[in-house]
Amino acid sequence: MSFEEIKQQDEAYIMHTYGRYPVALDHGKNATCYDVDGKEYIDMTSGIGVNALGFCDKAWISAVTTQLNKLQHISNLYYTAPCGEAAKLVCEKSGMKKMFFANSGAEANEGVFKAAKKYSFLKYGKGRSTIVALENSFHGRTLATLSATGQDHYHNYFFPFVEGIVFAKANNVEDTLSKLTNDVCAVIMEMVQGEGGVVPLDKEYVQAVYQFCKEKDILFIVDEVQTGMGRTGTFFSYQQFDIQPDLVSCAKGLGGGLPIGGVLFGEKTEACLSPGDHGTTFGGNPVVCAGSVEILNRLNDDFLAEVQKKGEFIRNQILTMPHVTGVAGMGMMLGVSLDVDAKEVINQCLENGLMVLSAKTKVRLLPPLTITRKELEKALSILANVLKTM
């Protein structure tokens, strides 16, 4: 099909909830892909942080297709080896105790909310169910996760929201602690607020809130949906903050391109859910988990050290470019502040064969963790040339 045929079919039958760019992608390898007309692009988006190993990684494809030829799906009433193996690897790399598999980041965050509420109910009874989230946060598009998203522009039309959620100011210890009242069961935060503009939290702030929560038995939840799976240079971003959360949500890079999410339970919470408390039809799907096992086995210390090096290389190169006023983020999750319109930069990059993202007023970069030096240099050359013309 031609681009116009694909576009017309999409517009006729797909609900228009996305502002699509005028490109129909066809195939790719690692961080390089091609549209239906054969034009080449360097991908610095990873499908918004999903394609940790880039496009069409051979070992990942082998793991997935091997499992496809055995069992594509079986309900959670039965055991499968890939499900247990993936959970074991995540727990070993994170220091968490148990895992519940879901299908997306929003579903994972729904899971952490339910777990936190039940933990508190069992221990303290009714009246201790409030969750504190941060202003400028993003936790998903379902009603509960949208209710916990601290950005008003996502909220319009969908009232009333789930009650029992209070917002605190990020990186403001005094304000946050003042919100942790006796009716609070948990606090949730992203170590880097991705959709909020790639804004990292201060380590001192995180540790102060964490210590207060430990003293008051308020569960500390970290949303690692975008920051997890090596994206920031460690397996999870919280490992750079010297904390051990009670609950963690993850997704995106864990699947490498197939839908997956997960709730991780710490020592306090590992026994809080019982049969019948929570469930999902496709969670722990053996095909998706087989792909996850391949990804998880690759995320060793040497691999993560390379992510950190690539992130520093990208940061240092971009800081020399015109119109750049700053680069924020961690590892290979970066937000570029500009003194020109970011949307125009993104459009010009696409025209010149570079795919990048936005995050509020910034250009956001989430390249595949496996991107090569050659691909990086080509991507950064395109970005520099675009900025020179602005």
66 labelled as ligand-binding?
no
138 labelled as ligand-binding?
yes
Please answer whether residues 311 and 233 qualify as being in contact, where contact means their C-beta atoms are separated by less than 8 angstroms.
Answer: yes
Pairwise CA distance, residues 212 & 137, whole Å: 21
Cα separation values, 340 from 93, 278, 350, 358, 362, Å: 41, 47, 17, 13, 10
Pairwise CA distance, residues 131 & 351, whole Å: 44
Please answer whether residues 130 and 124 qualify as being in contact, where contact means their C-beta atoms are separated by less than 8 angstroms.
Answer: no
106 labelled as ligand-binding?
yes
Nearest to 27 by CA among 56, 6, 4, 59: 56
224 labelled as ligand-binding?
yes
Nearest to 226 by CA among 348, 52, 377, 41: 52
Sequential DSSP letters for 191-258:
SEETTTTSEEPPHHHHHHHHHHHHHHT-EEEEE-TTTTTTTTSSSSGGGGTT---SEEEE-GGGTBTB
231 labelled as ligand-binding?
no
Cα separation values, 133 from 32, 107, 130, Å: 37, 17, 10
Q: Name the token pair of 290.
A: 């087989």
Cis status of the peptide bond prior to 259, with omega within 30 of 0? no
Q: Tell me the CA end-to-end span of the chain in Å, nearest whole number.
A: 35
How many C-beta neighbours within 10 Å does residue 146 have? 18
100 labelled as ligand-binding?
no
Q: Name the token pair of 19.
A: 């502002």
CA–CA–CA angle 68, 69, 72 (5° rounding):
35
Q: Name the token pair of 330.
A: 């961690």
Nearest to 30 by CA among 310, 376, 386: 376
226 labelled as ligand-binding?
yes
141 labelled as ligand-binding?
yes
- Name the H helices within the chain: 3-13, 46-49, 58-68, 81-94, 105-124, 143-147, 173-179, 203-216, 286-298, 301-318, 342-351, 373-389
Residues marked as binding for pyridoxal 5'-phosphate?
A: 105-106, 138, 223-226, 281
Residues marked as binding?
A: 105-106, 138, 141, 223-226, 280-281
Residues marked as binding for N(2)-acetyl-L-ornithine?
A: 141, 280
